[in-house]
Amino acid sequence: MKHKRRRARRRKSQGRPAGELAGIFEAMMQQLTLLGHTLPKSAVSFTPQQLKILFTLDFFGEPTPMSKLSSRLGVTPGTLTRTAAGLLRKGYLERRRSPDDERVVKVSLSRAGHRIVSQIKKYRQEFFRELCENLKPSDRRKLIESHRYILETYRHILQAKKGSVS
């Protein structure tokens, strides 16, 4: 009985940092929204899932098998197919069968897809430029360093996950 209580207390204490981090993250995202960090008018019709597809394909930089993309996004191939269909219809994606294996379908950004991703990136760049202009240089440096630390932490966690899967 004592062991169960100890384990329960340990789980509860380990949950506090996770809950605090989740709360900070949610509040940070809400504050960005309130500051006006939204999409440019040219991109408001995209769903969050469609934006993930566009930016993931931009990150990969080459035609990507649908199976790899669905795995990376953490969705089923069927869900990806339905979500990507809208982007294909609107001309933001190109779809081709692999010349090596007809069963493999690869998708990539079309010219219009590259253009919309570029517009969103420029819009975000301008948003953060304005945000940084309103900060003291020391606060600007702290903000950049803290975000760089968060990014590196996520990269290390991802790398460790990949290593443990192998």
pLDDT above 50 for 166: no
Encoded tokens for 105: 């379908």
pLDDT band for position 57 (cuts 50, 70, 90):
very high
Mean pLDDT, residues 47-53 taken together: 92
- Looking at residue 12, what is its pLDDT? 54
pLDDT at 42: 78
Q: What is the pLDDT of residue 95?
A: 95
Residue 21's closest CA among 161, 163, 157, 160?
157
Q: Quick one: CA dihedral 149, 73, 69, 162, positive or negative? A: positive
Query: Which pLDDT score, from 0 to 100, does residue 131 have?
Result: 87
Q: Is the pLDDT of residue 34 over 80?
A: no
Spatial distance between the Cα atoms of 116 and 119, rounded to a whole number of angstroms: 5
pLDDT over 80 at 165, yes or no: no
Average pLDDT over residues 134-152: 94
